Amino acid sequence: MSWKLSAITSREAVEQALDRAEGWDEALVLAAFEVDPDEPDVWQLDAYCEGKPGKAERAAVAALFDGNAPEIKAEELPDADWVSESQKGAQPIRAGRFYVHTPEHPASEEPGVTSFCIPAAQAFGTGQHATTAGCLEMLDTMRADGIVPRDVADIGTGTGLLAFAARDLWPKARYTVSDIDPLCTEAVIDNALRNGIPLGTEPGKVVAMTAEGMDHELLHARAPYDLLIANILAAPLIELAPDFAAALAPRGSVLLAGLLATQESTVRRAYRRHGLRLHKRIQRGDWSILWLRARYVG
Q: How many domains does the chain have?
A: 2
**Residues 147, 280 within the same domain:** yes
Task: Compare 168 and 101 and report the one with higher pLDDT.
Answer: 168
Annotated binding residues, as ranges? 132, 156, 179, 231
**At which of 80, 109, 127 does a domain end?**
80
Residues 259 and 112 in one domain: yes
Q: What are the angstrom distances between the C-alpha of 188 and each of 99, 116, 206?
A: 18, 12, 9
What's the rounded Cα separation, in Å, for the pair 69 and 24?
17
Which of 57, 80, 103 marks a domain boundary?
A: 80
Q: What CATH number should be reported for the domain holding residue 258?
A: 3.40.50.150
- Backbone φ and ψ of 141, nearest 5°: -65, -40
Confidence category of residue 37, pLDDT binned at 50, 70, 90: low
Do 11 and 159 lie in one domain? The reply is no
List the single range of 89-93, 122-126, 229-233 with lowest mean pLDDT. Answer: 122-126
In this structure, of 122-126, 153-157, 217-221, 234-238, the range with the lowest mean pLDDT score is: 122-126
Q: Residue 75, class by beta-carbon neighbours within 10 Å (0-12 exposed, 13-18 middle, 19+ buried)?
A: exposed
Residue 23's domain comprises 2-80
Binding-site annotation: residue ranges for S-adenosyl-L-methionine: 132, 156, 179, 231
Q: Are residues 155 and 227 in the same domain?
A: yes
pLDDT band at 82 (very low <50, low <70, confident <90, very high): very low
Same structural domain, 184 and 275: yes
On whether the CB atoms of residues 215 and 185 are closer than 8 A, the answer is no
Which CATH number belongs to the domain containing residue 8 in this structure? 3.30.70.120
Q: What is the pLDDT of residue 127?
A: 44
For the ranges 170-174, 211-215, 227-231, 293-297, the lowest mean pLDDT is seen at: 293-297
Half-sphere exposure of 206 (CA within 13 A, CB side): 31
Nearest of 16, 6, 78 to residue 47 by alpha carbon? 6
pLDDT score recorded for residue 226: 97
DSSP result, 36-56: ETTEEEEEEEEEEESS---HH
93, 193: one domain: yes
